[in-house]
Amino acid sequence: MSPRRAGGDKRAEVLNHVVEVLIERGYDRTRFTDVAKVAGVAVSTLQFYFGSRDDMLVEALHFSCAREVERLAAIEPDAPPWERLVALVNHSLDPADEGFWRVLVEFWYASMHDEELRVHSEKLQRDWSKPYLDTITGGVETGDFTVDNIDNMVTLVVGITDGLLLPQVLNHGYYDVEGLRKLTLDVLAKALGV
């Protein structure tokens, strides 16, 4: 999907509102009228900016996820490999990011039902994984980490952090953020030979 360009700065502001409504109502229950009310614009403005409801929601998912990928890439890029990996894991498990986690779950859900979005989700997952890939590759190159297959290790790390967001988003009572953060880092230290 190529995003439409109508609306300029106001459009970007509206996208933030679309994300807000998406977090609150979910992909299937977000309507033009919901977004129009929160954004303080007419439904016709949303139709002009985005075309269809689905295009609006898909673009909001892209917008939110791309912004989070940029945030992740900016986390301690010059730190030693283990310190950066710890910072990346801490960020990925931070309960303060629950809004983004909800967007991610909605993105995965929508991607299961839309081939174009599924293809984009794979690219996004690669972008999301890149800071982990760079960190683990750097650690192997400096001798800080011992890994036979870097790609598999990156998939494991991202799989752990992605998987742990579900009980947090679902507000499961057993979920122990700090305990699981520590356990994740212990497992990774062993797996990386730290």
User: What is the predicted pLDDT for the residue at 5?
Assistant: 58
Take residue 103 and report the two structure tokens written for it.
Answer: 């967007």
Which of 59, 74, 89 is the C-terminal boundary of a domain?
Answer: 74
Same domain, 124 and 46: no
Structurally, the chain folds into a number of domains equal to 2
User: What is the predicted pLDDT for the residue at 2?
Assistant: 47
HEC readout, 118-173: HHHHHHHHHHHHHHHHHHHHHHHHHCCCCCCCHHHHHHHHHHHHHHHHHHHHCCCC
54, exposed or middle or buried, with CB in 10 Å at 0-12, 13-18, 19+?
A: middle
Are 115 and 128 in contact by the 8 Å Cβ rule? The answer is no
Domain that holds residue 101: 76-194
User: What is the predicted pLDDT for the residue at 162?
Assistant: 92
User: What is the predicted pLDDT for the residue at 4?
Assistant: 53
Same domain, 70 and 111: no
Q: Which pLDDT tens digit goes with each residue over 142-183? A: 999 999 999 999 999 999 999 999 998 898 999 999 999 999
Distance CA 39, CA 6 (A): 16
pTM: 0.82
Same domain, 35 and 83: no
Same domain, 106 and 187: yes
Distance CA 40, CA 37 (A): 5
Same domain, 40 and 96: no
- Rounded to whole angstroms, the maximal C-alpha distance in the chain is 58
- Positions in the chain whose pLDDT score sits under 70: 1-7
In degrees and rounded to multiples of 5, residue 180 shows phi and psi of -75, -35
Same domain, 47 and 122: no
CATH classification of the domain holding 22: 1.10.10.60
